[in-house]
Amino acid sequence: MVFKQAHTKYKEMRGILEFNLPEDQAEYQYAIDGMDWAIVVRQTCEYLRSQLKHGHAYETFDEALEDIRDFITKETQNRNLDIYQ
């Protein structure tokens, strides 16, 4: 059985986002910060997974919620993201 390798040329793909600044500033910032937000979500999931896997010292549900809120706040501040934008 003989396999032939196909030589396929791929065209470079591009995407252009346009914003009317300053009126679309919020939408522009969301587009620019998208990867940072994805990282915050991923790190939050990893933090929660670790808490479940290795145990935690929370005595109440409210303590757990406060810790998660603090974690998210710290991560967003580290990336200069405005959670209330």
In 22-60, which ranges are continuous DSSP H helix? 25-32, 34-54
- Give tens-digit pLDDT for 46-75: 999 999 999 999 999 999 999 999 999 999
- C-alpha distances in Å from residue 35, one per residue of 14, 19, 39, 80: 18, 18, 6, 13
Task: Answer whether residue 1 shows pLDDT above 80.
Answer: no
pTM for the full predicted model: 0.72
| Mean pLDDT on 8-23 | 85
